């Protein structure tokens, strides 16, 4: 009888524990997030901190639809196969109700494909490839960050105004870099039919032989350069280009180079005069950004990077979408995100119903050195909506029936 009582008590305890866990789970909304934390820490550590800040703010205000937000992170290994396995684990083992994240474009595409096949809502926070919202777009995937097409289009006025005929292009040889290079050539050729692309240098991501790349560019004798390199590849390219004098007196337009995570390491080696997209956090004088900056600095005793903007706005977007849907059901989330309005640190923006792309923009300015550090000057915000194709044009680029 004693054994029976013990077994009965153990069974009751297990049942109570399971019931309590189930009740706790019912009071939370679990977000599954995956990213290349080990390979891209400069961007993703601030990104993760800002996600935490946003969740703390939302939960302190009562959560979403009466439930607290919870996030579970996984490293995707900067590899599409590992990312899909991580996504599967988050959804099946961890009980996530949706997915978000990814940084590298080819990884984001793999997770988007998983989401489409499994009817799982996925908000791609950072990957920039145009394929996510156009050629490979699916019903269940939305994207926050301004795409390669959008950011390249933001640089076109400066590139056209420079009236340079001979261009060199340098980019990391994977989906993001290939997409940006192709877009730049198409847009500039349309505006300036006599333009010549005299060399393309496409080193492997994270493995640039900067000396060889810089020498090849110099040998081609371009008048101007379109750069798509970032992180350590950018720093090596700039250092070698400065040392050899290849960047001197050459007009350069460059994606992402004004983002603090990539600009700060350059210090006084920052290439003065480049026209770039980026994030001049020190000089953005809007109420929305001031509030975000104050909250971020108070929470982390540090200044934000562009990754901080992306992480914070990702969570704010998900909260807005879930609130509008009144549910975490994937089908209801898909509908809720159609023309969803979100207020972010850069001001209000929407997720377009036509291609599931957010209209959050970016800043365009020039690089300068101040007090031994690289900064963006003459920066202006470009609304993402102003550089996106029309809905009619998007319909030609996106698979039918994916909205």
Q: What is the mean pLDDT of each run of 10 residues along the chain (403 residues)?
A: 53 47 67 97 97 98 97 97 98 97 97 98 97 97 98 98 98 96 97 98 97 97 98 97 94 98 96 98 97 98 98 98 98 98 98 98 98 97 97 92 87
CB 224 within 8 A of CB 159: yes
Rounded CA separation 318/100 (Å): 9
d(C-alpha 99, C-alpha 299), whole Å: 25
Confidence (pLDDT) at 10 = 53
CA separation for the pair 346, 75 (Å, rounded): 28
Give residue 401's pLDDT: 85
Predicted local confidence at residue 26, as pLDDT:
63
| Domain boundaries 27-146+285-360, CATH class | alpha beta
Instruction: Give domain limits for the chain.
Output: 27-146+285-360, 149-281+363-387
pLDDT for position 23: 44
Q: With contact defined as beta carbons under 8 Å apart, do 258 and 276 qualify? A: yes
How much is the pLDDT for 9? 58
pLDDT tens for residues 352-386?
Answer: 999 999 999 999 999 999 999 999 999 999 999 99
Question: What local confidence, expressed as pLDDT, does residue 11 receive?
Answer: 53
| Topology of domain 149-281+363-387, CATH | Rossmann fold (3.40.50)
pLDDT of residue 403: 86
Give pLDDT, residue 102.
98
């Amino acid at each position: 009888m004693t054994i029976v009582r013990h077994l009965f008590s153990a069974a009751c305890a297990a049942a109570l524990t399971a019931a309590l866990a189930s009740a706790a789970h019912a009071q939370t909304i679990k977000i599954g997030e995956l990213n290349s934390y080990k390979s891209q820490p400069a961007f993703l550590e601030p990104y993760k901190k800002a996600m935490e800040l946003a969740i703390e703010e939302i939960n302190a205000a009562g959560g979403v639809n009466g439930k607290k937000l919870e996030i579970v992170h996984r490293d995707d290994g900067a590899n599409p196969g590992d990312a899909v396995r991580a996504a599967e684990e988050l959804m099946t083992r961890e009980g996530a109700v949706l997915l978000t994240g990814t940084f590298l474009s080819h990884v984001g595409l793999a997770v988007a494909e998983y989401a489409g096949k499994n009817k799982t809502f996925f908000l791609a926070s950072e990957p920039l490839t145009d394929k996510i919202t156009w050629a490979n777009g699916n019903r269940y995937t939305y994207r926050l960050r301004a795409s390669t097409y959008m950011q390249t289009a933001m640089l076109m006025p400066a590139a056209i105004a420079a009236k340079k005929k001979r261009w060199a292009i340098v980019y990391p040889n994977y989906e993001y870099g290939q997409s940006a290079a192709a877009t730049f050539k198409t847009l500039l050729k349309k505006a300036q039919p006599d333009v010549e692309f005299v060399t393309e240098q496409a080193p492997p991501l994270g493995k640039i032989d900067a000396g060889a790349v810089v020498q090849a560019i110099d040998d081609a004798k371009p008048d101007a350069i379109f750069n798509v390199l970032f992180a350590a590849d950018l720093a090596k390219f700039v250092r070698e280009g400065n040392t050899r004098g290849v960047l001197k007196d050459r007009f350069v337009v460059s994606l992402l180079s004004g983002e603090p995570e990539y600009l700060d390491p350059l210090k006084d080696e920052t290439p003065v005069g480049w026209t770039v997209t980026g994030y001049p956090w020190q000089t953005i004088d809007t109420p929305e950004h001031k509030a975000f900056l104050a909250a971020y600095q108070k929470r982390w005793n540090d200044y934000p990077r562009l990754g901080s903007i992306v992480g914070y706005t990702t969570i704010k977007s998900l909260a807005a979408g879930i609130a509008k849907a009144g549910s975490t059901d994937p089908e209801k989330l898909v509908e809720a995100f159609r023309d969803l309005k979100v207020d972010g640190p850069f001001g209000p923006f929407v997720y377009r119903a036509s291609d599931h792309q957010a209209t959050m923009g970016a800043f365009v300015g020039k690089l300068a050195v101040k007090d031994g550090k690289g900064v963006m000057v003459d920066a202006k915000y470009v609304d993402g909506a102003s550089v996106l194709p029309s809905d009619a044009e998007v319909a030609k680029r996106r698979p039918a029936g994916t909205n």
